[in-house]
Amino acid sequence: MDELIKIYPVDINIKTCFFVPAEDANDKRTIVAERILAAWHGSPVIQKQQVMTKWFEEMDIEKWERCFPHPHSNEPIARYLLENQAWCTRNNITHTPAIFLNGYELPQNYTAGDLKLIIPSFLEFIPKPAEKMQDQDIRLASQG
């Protein structure tokens, strides 16, 4: 996704939503979501990009968690994950990752790698970034 943002710095806005069981702190999906949020909040932009890039390159939690250690108990992150359950429910987010391009959710059979192929055609029909989602860079959500 970093490459796409370099190619289309003004034309695209990519948002990723992870649907995780926030009530289960030991679930691998929840662990990944917590680490992404911990890195995302209060980190330099370069580290934010590294966290996401590394996850999407391998999607191997054992390798990935060696690079990004588990944050100490962080109640705001846990609360954020729980609050997003309602956001996902309201917005019918049912899969992980849900990818939004310029505010439009891509069908779940598309992957981050597919974006490189579809963006040129997509931009012919869709205006430049228009926020349909809440004004945040990443949405992580939970499912009970």
Non-local (6+) Cβ contacts of 64 within 8 A are: 32, 35, 54, 55, 58
Q: How many helices (H) and strands (E) does the chain have?
A: 6, 4
DSSP-H helix ranges across 59-94: 61-67, 75-90
Extract the tokens encoding 54.
Answer: 């590394």
Over residues 10-32, the mean pLDDT reads 82
Q: What is the pLDDT of residues 106-140, one digit of tens each?
A: 888 877 678 888 888 888 887 677 544 443 444 44
Averaged pLDDT of the chain: 76
Cα dihedral: 94, 38, 54, 139 (round 10): 30
Integer CA distances (angstroms), 55 to 2, 48, 63, 121, in order: 12, 11, 9, 27
CATH classification code of 2-142 = 3.40.30
Rounded-to-integer distance, Cα 138 and Cα 144, Å: 20
Q: What is the pLDDT of residues 44-88, one digit of tens each?
A: 666 777 887 888 787 888 887 788 766 665 678 888 888 887 788
